[in-house]
Amino acid sequence: MIRNGDLPIQLPSFVRSGDNISARTINQLITAIRRLSNRTPVDSSSGKGSKSSKSPFMPILKAVKGENDESGVPQFTYKIALSKGYVIERRIPDDQALIYHFPTELVDEDDNPIYHDITDGQAIYVKVLVKKDGTIEEEPTVLVGEDELAGAHYKPKVFDFDGADGEHNYKIAVFEIVDSKPRLKLYGAGDNIDHYDERVTMENLEAEGDCYEVGKTYNEASDKVEFRKLKQLSGEGSPVIKDQTDETINFKRIKARTSPSQINVSDEGDAIKIEGNGNMGTLTHIPCTGGAGTVILEWDDGLIISPSASFTAGCSSTGSGGGGGMP
C-alpha cells in the first residue's frame, strides 16, 4: 500500500505465473492506477531536514487535474493545506504564561484540512495580529499570498509614542514549479510558532510637583528609544556636574567649612539646608558725651542683618570729654 497524502492507495497482490486473474484483482489495479495518476509529485526541501507530515504546520500539497493541453499533456492546478499546529503566546510577565492559539482556516468543522489555491511563487503563511502591548486577541489565520508578504512588528507605548499594533506573517513554505514539477521550499514548517512578548513599555513615572521627564520618545524610523541628556550650563561659578564615565554621571557635593564653622550645610527633608553658626549680637556706638547710643552693626546666626552703613570711631576735637560723632 502506498499513500497519496493522507489517502491510502491499496495495490493488488502479486500475481504468479499460472494464477487465475480475477475481476477483483483487475478492478483493484485500475483503481490504483487512477489514484496514482492524480498523485502529486512533490519535492520538499528545507535547511532543517525532512519531517513527518504529522509535525505541526507541515504543508500538504494537492494537484487538481484539468484539461489536457494541445499536446495532450494533462494540466494541473494546485491547492495547499497545513497540518495542525498552534501559535504559542508567551506572555512576560503574566499569570497565564502560555496561551495556545489554534488558527482559523486550518481545518473545517469535520477536522479536515482546508485547502487554499496556490500558484507558482506564492507562499502559505500563518498570520498573527498582535496588539501594541504584545498580546494576541484575535485567533491567527492561515492564508496564501505573495512571497515576502509585507507585515509590521508591533510597537509598544514608549513615553509620548502611543504604540502601534502589528501584523506578523510567519512564512511556512513557498510553492514553486521547477522543471515542470511542483516543489515546496520549507521555512517555518514542522514546528509550532512561538510568539514572545519581548518588547517592553516605557513611561516616565508620575509624581507630585513640577517634574522633568528623562524619557523623551520612540523614534520609529531608527527603532530607537530616546532619552534626554543632562546639560551643564556654561557661565561663572563651579559646575555642578563633575564628569561622566562609561557607567556613571558624577555630581559634586556641597561641602561646609570644617573650622571655624561659619556656614553649615545639612539635610532637611527633600531640601539642602544652608545656615549660619548660631552666633547673634550687636555693635552699638556710645557718644563720648554720653547718651543712648546708636546700633551700627547687628548679626543673627553669624550673618550680618543690619543695613549698610559707615562709621568713624573716636572722639571729636570739641566737646567735653572728647565727644564723638557720627558722620
pLDDT of 10: 56
What the block records as the C-alpha cell of 268 is 532637611
Percent of the chain with pLDDT over 70: 78
The pLDDT of residue 37 is above 60: no
Residue 257's pLDDT band (cuts 50, 70, 90): confident
pLDDT of 125: 97
Which residues pair with residue 8 across a beta bridge?
3
The reply to whether omega before 140 is within 30° of 0 (cis) is no
Residue 320's pLDDT band (cuts 50, 70, 90): very low
The pLDDT of residue 302 is above 70: yes
Residue ranges of alpha helices (H) inside 147-229 are: none
Query: Average pLDDT in the 158-166 region?
Result: 91
Residue ranges of alpha helices (H) inside the chain are: 23-37
The answer to whether residues 43 and 178 touch, using CB atoms and an 8 Å cutoff, is yes
Higher-confidence residue of 204 and 317: namely 204
The pLDDT of residue 54 is above 90: no
Pairwise CA distance, residues 197 & 135, whole Å: 7
Closest CA to 149 of 173, 113, 131: 173
Which single residue is written with the C-alpha cell 511542483?
A: 182
Residue ranges of alpha helices (H) inside 93-187 are: none
Higher-confidence residue of 174 and 41: namely 174
Closest CA to 130 of 106, 151, 102, 161: 151
What are the angstrom distances between the C-alpha of 228 and each of 159, 177, 212, 215, 218? 12, 55, 10, 6, 12
- Binning the chain into helix, strand and coil, the percentages to the nearest 5 are 5, 40, 55
